[in-house]
Structure 1
Amino acid sequence: MPLEKGRAYRLAGVAAALMVTAVAIVGVRTLDRDPDGPTAAAATGTAAATTAGNAAATGTGTGTIVLNPTDDAFLQLMIPIDESALTFLEEAQTITSSPALRALAAQLAETHRTELKDMRALLAAGGTPEQNIHEGHRMPGMIFDDQLAALRTAPEADRDAQAMTLLKGHLEQCEVLATGEEAAAGSDETRAFAVRLKQRRTEQLNQLAAIG
């Protein structure tokens, strides 16, 4: 499959995933904001559906910026992706042998901490509570405990290559997600963050390629 066509298919999949997440977030948010409990929510189902539909169409936010559901979906997905990678990056600094790879892991760990802080600030500014609705799911771009365990127990001669494969998959998926958010963002602030993230991931992929 040509590279450009493959990328287009991946972006289409990302857009679909973001919208599914957005629907889930709107539903959870509607329940969280219902002051009278499930009985009242059932009695006003039509109004709740209308509210959710309006939120999906126009974006919602009680803070200083307005996030649409795609913005919410992007941030709520990227936070656990970055968190899983941060755990990996911290370990990679001690269990890999290449000085260049260790240095890159340290550099990326610092940028991931900054990204997590920035994304949580965007959610707070949009009045959106942080919710890991992907908990327990094996989402692309995440680095999982079993993968870390396999890396720890791998022969020393194989660890660098395995670590680079895990890192490459994470960086590539972040780049794709950022591209999707750049195209569909409702908030100028989240779009700007996505643009910076995509540029950063491209640079980091180039740094990784230079090592390998």
Structure 2
Amino acid sequence: MRVHVALLMTAMLVAGCAGGPSSTTDDAAPQAPAPTAASPTAGAFSPTDIAWLQLTAAMTQRLLPVLDLVPSHTSDPTWRRLATQVQASARADLTRSRDLLNEAGAPTTNPHEGHDMPGMITADELAALRSASGKTFQRLLAAHLRAHLAQAVKIAAAEQRAGVHPATTALAAAVIRAGDDDLARLDQLDRPATPPAT
């Protein structure tokens, strides 16, 4: 069962990295990056741990420019406060992820650079946010923030189940707690639409 969960985690972490829907052949299927053998502590990290840390760092790097826009694009104090809270958690998670990757001896380059994956804002979406303000900006921000937080919690839960490195799974638990709290705050500001009753 643990092997099965680990394989699911690896597949989820690399989904979308092989160039989109056209990359469906077996030989094009991406592999989770392996720890660097030269590092004396690399053996304590599994490929799933490394893959999750790299994806978490990449997702956070995409989120921070969005949060940086908030003070200049909305005057609503509640949205500004939410952005500040999410930003503080995101920066702490990014720092911790990088520290753990360094401890694992993993490559310092971002293997997800240029990839548009679930929970990651695209360049076009960021441009749309930059040109919006007020209620329109808040609506776009809510959608992107909700997608990011939900995906971050989802993959962190998978890391908790399938990861082996204690500090990495502890970070995953922290990401889940912060993500759930931030989603609850977001829902108070921007209730997601409920489907009509049938």
| Shift, 1:145, TM fit | 2.4
In structure 1, the partner of 2:41 is 63
Output the CA distance in 1 between the equivalents of 2:74 and 2:183: 18
In structure 2, the partner of 1:23 is 31
In structure 2, the partner of 1:109 is 87
Question: TM-score when scaled to structure 2?
Answer: 0.77
| Shift, 1:108, TM fit | 1.3
- Which one has a bigger Cα radius of gyration? 1
Output the CA distance in 1 between the equivalents of 2:67 and 2:133: 19
In structure 2, the partner of 1:3 is none
Match 2:99 to one of 117, 121, 134: 121
- Identity over aligned residues, as a percent? 32
Question: TM-score when scaled to structure 1?
Answer: 0.72
2:180 is the alignment partner of 1:172: no
Is the partner of 1:25 in helix, strand or coil?
Answer: coil
User: Which moved further from structure 2: 139-148 or 111-120?
Assistant: 139-148
| Shift, 1:104, TM fit | 0.8
What RMSD, in angstroms, separates the aligned Cα atoms of the two structures?
Answer: 2.6
Is the partner of 1:23 in helix, strand or coil?
Answer: coil
Match 1:77 to one of 47, 55, 72: 55
What amino acid maps onto 2:123 in structure 1?
Answer: D
What amino acid maps onto 1:16 in structure 2?
Answer: A
| Shift, 1:155, TM fit | 5.7
Task: Work out which structure has the larger RCO, using CA pairs closer than 8 Å and 6 or more positions apart in sequence.
Answer: 2
The structure where helix makes up a greater share of residues is 1
Matched ranges for 1:1-212 at <5 A:
15-18=10-13, 23-26=31-34, 29=36, 62-63=40-41, 66-154=44-132, 156-212=134-190
- Per-residue deviation, residues 146-204 of structure 1 (Å, max 9, x unmatched): 11211222364311111111111110000001011001001111111101111110000
Unaligned runs of 5+ in 1: 1-11, 34-60
Unaligned runs of 5+ in 2: 1-6, 18-29, 191-198
| Shift, 1:102, TM fit | 0.9
| Shift, 1:94, TM fit | 1.9
